[in-house]
Amino acid sequence: MATETHGAEAAGHGEGGGLVFHPMDQFIVKPLFGDGAVGIFTVTNVTLWLALAVLCVIALMVLGTSRRGIVPNRMQSVAELAYGFVYKMVEDVAGKDGVKYFPYIMTLFMFIVFANFLGLLPMAFTTTSHFAVTVVLALAVFIAVTVLGFLKHGAKFLELFWVSSAPLALRPVLALIEVISYFVRPVSHSIRLAGNLMAGHAVIKVFAGFAAIAAVSPISVLAITAMYGLEILVAFIQAYVFTILTCVYLKDALHPHH
Amino acid sequence: MAEEPIAQELASACIGPDGSAIGMPQLCGEWVGNQVFWLILTLVAIYFVLSRVALPRIAAILAERQGTISNDLAKAEDLKRQAEEAEKAYEKALVDARAEAQRIAEETRAEIRDEVAKAQEDADRQIAAKTAESEQQIAAIRASALENVEAVAKDTAEAFMGALGLGADRAELDGAVDQRLKG
Amino acid sequence: MEGELAHIGAGLAGLGCGLAALGVGNVAANYLSGALRNPSAAASQTATLFIGIAFAEALGIFSFLVALLLMFAV
């Protein structure tokens, strides 16, 4: 088994000697206080970094705007920028009647963007790189959107799967494809976010492992720098993509007709 | 790289004896509950902070700024209009003043012309009066001269006759002189 | 033996990341050529661009995930 060889490898080379890759160790959940097992209510590094995300959101959106200036200072203009960015996205993609759900989408965006960027700090724990986290987010969106669709349109919501513009013979096939793609949505929605974050962080860690070899360490450091730049981009783009896809799904629920 | 090793008896099924992960930590079932619990707590906290405090506040700030901007624009429009009006009024005043100045100049010129004409008339009249008076005087002088000539002629004729020793009658002499003078 | 096969499989799955890069490049290239033809419409389509890139990239991430699973979880 790979795990056994992995363990044996680590034991054989020892820490710091030779090439030892533990790219996944940064994702380990562990209790902040003591060494006990991780229960549901245990305060862990997950708790710490989620709490930091909340604090950052409060710092930017509440403390940053506390001056209520007509002419904004730096923090306030960033907060207004985030507000306008998400508001415009919801309005453009989901339509005027989607603006009602703007606070929920803003919550998702602010959380993901701060969790992603906090994860880029050295020694940080990236909460959004865990499927447990992103699946909850994606399932919340999926269930909310589906329930909303049925509440708004009743059985007519199923017209989403019935492509009325296609030839009649093709429609059942298309309906099957549409249903499958509908149920794949939360899967791709969650794996995209967690996968991107995990991939970037793991790759940086692998490059960091190469830095132990003196000959390639300059290249390795350069590669880490480049990857870090890319990861900053990815951290924002994935938050943006998650949010805009949520808006697209919301639009489907509000206007199911093709 | 590996964080502080976890005592083996306490380590979970997902962490190896050296403190590194066994398999992918993302797939470790025993950590899922913890993450989901804290995540939901986080999302609820962020949602309440945003929907109760931050978003209404930012919306109010943006609306206020929009109001201020449109107010300022209206004010600027108003000021511009006022400036244009003032300019128009100034130009009108300028035109009026020019016309007034022209009128006054014209009037003054006419007045002066009248006065000059009147003065000339007066002078003419005075000159005419003076001329008439002088002519009268000259006529009187001439008349008196004629009279004197008559008297002198009569006196001379009488004297002359006396000298000649003819001795003539005075009245006869006067008549002859008169006749001569008329003739 | 099974472990070595898993590593070979992980390497093969890693090829998917490169292929996803082709897909992302394709999306961006077509967007750019379209944007140069009609720059006024470009700004309104950036959202579509990012959605397209996200979909193309997601599949590459899936193959990366398969590689990780083969490396660490099999």
Every domain of chain C and the residues it spans: 2-73
By the 10 Å C-beta count (0-12 exposed, 13-18 middle, 19+ buried), A192 is classed as: buried
Residues comprising chain B, all counted:
183
Mean pLDDT of B149-172: 79
Looking at residue A7, its pLDDT comes to: 41
Residue A128's CB is within 10 A of a number of other CB atoms, namely: 29
Contact B17, B1 (CB under 8 A): no
φ, ψ dihedrals at A31, nearest 5°: -65, 145
**Angstrom distances, CA of residue A163 to CA of A94, A178, A194, A257:** 20, 9, 32, 8
SS3 B4: coil
Q: What is the pLDDT of residue B171?
A: 80
Output phi, psi for A9, to 5 deg.
-60, -50
How buried is A247 (Cβ within 10 angstroms: 0-12 exposed, 13-18 middle, 19+ buried)?
buried
d(CA B103, CA B96): 10
Q: Which of A107-111, B68-72, C59-63 has the lowest mean pLDDT?
A: C59-63
Predicted local distance difference test score (pLDDT) of residue B109: 94
Angle B3-B27-B10 from CA coordinates, rounded to 5°: 45
Q: Which residue has 């006196």 as its token pair?
A: B155
What's the number of domains chain A is made of?
Answer: 1
Nearest to A56, CA basis, from B45, B61, C18:
B45
pLDDT of residue A49: 93
pLDDT averaged over every residue in chain A: 86
Q: How much of chain A, in percent, has pLDDT values that exceed 70?
A: 92
Q: Is A160 part of any domain?
A: yes
pLDDT, average across residues C37-63: 86
Determine, for residues A2 and C6 on separate chains, whether the beta-carbon distance falls below 8 Å.
yes
pLDDT at site A18: 53
A69 in B contact zone (CB under 8 Å): yes
- Dihedral sign (CA B147, B149, B150, B154): positive
* A25 neighbourhood in chain B, CB within 8 Å: 1-3, 19-21, 25
Kindly report the average pLDDT of chain C as a whole number. Answer: 87
Alpha helices by DSSP H, listed for chain A, are 2-13, 45-58, 74-94, 102-119, 131-153, 171-210, 217-254
The ipTM is 0.85
Give the type of residue at A238: Q
Provide the pLDDT for residue A229. Answer: 94
Instruction: Give the H or E element holding residue B91.
Output: helix B55-164
Q: What is the pLDDT of residues A121-180, one digit of tens each?
A: 988 899 999 999 999 999 999 999 999 999 998 888 888 888 888 888 888 888 999 899
* CA atoms of C22 and B95, how far apart (whole Å): 77
pLDDT in tens, A13-57: 344 445 667 788 888 888 888 777 788 888 888 999 999 999 999
- Between CA A197 and CA B179 the distance in angstroms is 163
- In this prediction, what percent of chain B has a pLDDT beyond 70? 92
**pLDDT greater at residue A213 or residue A107:** A107
Highest mean pLDDT range out of A39-43, A79-83, A199-203? A79-83
- Determine the residue among A129, A240, A250, A251 to mutate to test chain C binding: the one whose Cβ has the most chain C Cβ atoms within 10 Å: A240
How far B13 CA lies from chain A's nearest CA (Å)?
A: 10
Q: Identify the residue with better confidence: A89 or B1.
A: A89
Q: What is the pLDDT confidence band of residue B155, given thresholds at 50, 70 and 90?
A: confident
Determine the pLDDT at residue B183.
65
pLDDT at position B17: 77
Q: Tell me the C-alpha distance between A254 and A233, whole Å.
A: 31
Residue B16 buriedness (CB in 10 A; 0-12 / 13-18 / 19+):
buried
Rounded average pLDDT over C54-67: 85
User: Which two tokens mark B161?
Assistant: 């006759």
Give the pair of three-digit tokens for residue A216. 């390639």
Shortest Cα–Cα distance, B104 to chain A (Å): 58
Measure B78 CA to nearest chain C CA, in Å: 35
Say which residue, B18 or B81, is predicted with more confidence: B81
- Average pLDDT, stretch B124-138? 93
Contacts of A196 in chain C (CB under 8 A): 57, 61
**Lowest-confidence segment of A11-15, A66-70, A198-202, B14-18 by average pLDDT:** A11-15
**Inter-residue contact A241 to A192 (CB < 8 Å):** yes
Residues 6+ apart with CB under 8 A from A145: A246, A249, A250, A252, A253
Separation in Å, CA A154 to CA A141, A158, A198, A252, A256:
19, 8, 39, 14, 11
What is the pLDDT, as a whole number, of residue C3?
Answer: 78
CA distance A45 to A55: 15
State the pLDDT at residue B181.
75
pLDDT in tens, B35-64: 999 999 999 999 999 999 999 999 999 999
Closest residue, chain B, to C68 (C-alpha)? B24
Please state, in angstroms and rounded to a whole number, the distance separating the CA atoms of residues B107 and B89: 26
pLDDT band at A2 (very low <50, low <70, confident <90, very high): very low
Partner-chain residue, chosen from A84, A130, A198, that has the shortest CB–CB distance to B35: A130
Query: Any idea which of A4-13, A179-188, B25-34, B145-154 has the lowest mean pLDDT?
Result: A4-13
Amino acid letter at A8? A
Q: Where are the domains of chain B?
A: 25-182
The fourth-level CATH superfamily of domain C2-73 is F1F0 ATP synthase subunit C (1.20.20.10)
- φ/ψ of A44, rounded to 5, equals -120, 180
CA distances from A175 to A161, A170, C72 (A): 5, 9, 38
pLDDT on residue C1: 59
Query: Do the chains contact at C61 and A192, CB–CB below 8 Å?
Result: yes
pLDDT of residue A11: 39
Mean pLDDT, to the nearest integer, of A239-252? 92
Of A22, A46, A129, the CB nearest to B20: A22
Q: Please report residues of A whose CB lies closer than 8 A to that of C72.
A: 2-3, 6, 24
Residue span of the structural domain in which A219 resides: 25-254
As a whole number of angstroms, the distance between CA C71 and CA C63 comes to 12
Residue written as token pair 């000059």: B116
Residue B18 has pLDDT above 80, yes or no: no
